Chains A and B, each alone.
Chain A
Amino acid sequence: MTRDELERALANLPFRLLRRLGRSIAGPPALRMGKRRLMHTIMAGAEANIARVEATIRTHQAEQQALAAVPASGGGASSEHKPGKPADLRALLEGIGVPEPRPFVPDDWQMEAVEALERGDVIVSVPTGSGKTYVAVEATRRAMHEDRTVVYTSPLKALSNTKYTEFCKIFGPEFVGIITGDRRDNPTAPILIMTTEILRNLLYDAAGGEIDVRLDTLGLVIIDESQFLGDSERGVVWEETIIFCPSQARLLLLSASIGNPHELAAWLTSIRPTPCHLVRHQHRSVPLRAGYLHPNGKLTPLFRTVTMPPSPSQAVLHPEAKRLFTMFEEDTLYTRRSG
Chain B
Amino acid sequence: MPPSIHPVHLVTVLRQKSLTPAIVFLTSRRSCDEALQAFEHAPDSLPPARQESITAVLDELTASYPSLQDHPLRKTVTTCGVAAHHAGHLPSWKIAIEELMRRGCLDAVFATTTLAAGVDFPARTVVLTQSGVRRDQDFTDLTIAEVAQISGRAGRRGKDSVGFAIVTPSPYMDLGVLIRGLTGRPEPVDSQFIIAYPMILNLLKAHPLDHIQSILAKSFAQYQMNAQAAHLEHRIEKLHAKLESYKPRECSDWLTQWSAYDQATRQTAMKLHARRHHPPEVRARLPYLTPGRVVAFPRFRGIVLRRYRSRGQRHEMVTVLRTGGVVAESPVADIMGVIDRTFDFAPAPAFPWAAPEALSWLTQQLEDLPKHLPFLTVPPAPDEGEGELVKSLGDLFPCPTCPCRPTCAKEFKAGNTVKQEWLHHTRTVQSLRTGLWHKFQERAEILQDLGYLDAAFKLTADGEWARLIRIDFSLLITELIRAQAFKDVTPATLAGLMACIAYENDRPDSFPRITGALASLVATARRMTEALAPYDDPPLLRADVGGLAERWVGDTTVTWAQLCRTTSMAEGDIYRLLSRTLEYLSQVHSLQATHPDLATVAAEALSRIRRGVLEELP
Contacts and interface: CB of A to CB of B under 8 A. Distances in A.
A291 B10 CA distance: 13
Contacts of A232: 192
Interface string B1-44: 00111000110110001110000000000000000000000000
A56 interface: no
Nearest to A270: B223
A161 interface: yes
Contacts of A295: 3-5, 168-169
Sorted nearest first, the 6 A-B pairs with minimum C-beta distance are A128-B152, A286-B155, A235-B192, A259-B188, A260-B188, A207-B206
Interface centre among A96, A101, A285 (most CB of B within 10 A): A96
B167 A293 contact: yes
10 contacts: A127-B152, A207-B202, A207-B206, A225-B117, A235-B191, A236-B196, A255-B189, A259-B185, A285-B157, A295-B169
Contact of A290 (B95, B166, B224, B610): B166
Interface in B148-170: 148-149, 151-169
A85 to B, nearest CB: 16
Interface of B: 3-5, 9-10, 12-13, 17-19, 91, 94-95, 98, 117-118, 120, 122, 124, 127, 145, 148-149, 151-169, 171-172, 175, 179-180, 182-194, 196, 199, 202-203, 205-207, 215, 218-221, 223-224, 227, 467, 470, 579, 582-583, 586, 610, 617-618
Contact of B169 (A128, A227, A328): A328
Interface string A239-270: 11011000000000001111110011011001
A311 B182 CA distance: 9
A332 B171 contact: yes
Nearest to A182: B582
A229 interface: yes
Contact of B186 (A102, A155, A158, A257): A257
Given A96-B18, A302-B167, A315-B179, A127 B618 contact: no
A292 to B, nearest CB: 5
Contacts of A156: 117-118
Contacts of B183: 308-312, 314-315
A254 to B, nearest CB: 13
A299 interface: yes
A255 B117 CA distance: 12
B5 A286 contact: no
B9 A297 contact: yes
A314 B185 CA distance: 13
Given A182-B583, A289-B165, A99 B189 contact: no
A159 B118 contact: yes
A181 interface: yes
Given A93-B17, A227-B189, A312 B4 contact: no
A230 B192 CA distance: 6
A161 to B, nearest CB: 7
A77 interface: no
B163 A288 contact: yes
A278 B587 CA distance: 37
A155 B220 CA distance: 19
A284 interface: yes
Contacts of A263: 188, 223-224, 227
B588 to A, nearest CB: 13
Tell me which of B95, B117, B199 has the highest count of chain A C-beta atoms within 10 A of its own C-beta: B117
A239 B152 contact: no
Contacts of B10: 293
Contacts of A266: 223
Interface in A84-125: 93, 95-99, 101-102, 104
Nearest to B161: A99
B151 A288 contact: yes
A207 B4 CA distance: 56
Given A299-B166, A310-B183, A325-B169, A236 B13 contact: no
A284 B165 CA distance: 13
B4 A286 contact: no
Interface in A295-339: 295, 297, 299, 302, 308-312, 314-315, 317, 325, 328-329, 332-333, 336
A241 B64 CA distance: 34
Nearest to B578: A182
Contacts of B162: 95-96, 286-289
A231 interface: yes
A273 interface: no
Nearest to B179: A315
A181 B579 CA distance: 8
A99 B156 CA distance: 10
Contact of A129 (B5, B122, B124, B583): B122
Contact of A287 (B17, B153, B155, B179): B155
Given A181-B586, A258-B189, A293-B10, 20 more contacts: A95-B162, A96-B162, A99-B161, A129-B153, A158-B91, A182-B579, A182-B586, A201-B470, A236-B192, A239-B221, A259-B185, A263-B227, A287-B155, A288-B154, A292-B167, A292-B168, A310-B183, A311-B183, A312-B184, A325-B175
Contacts of A311: 183-185
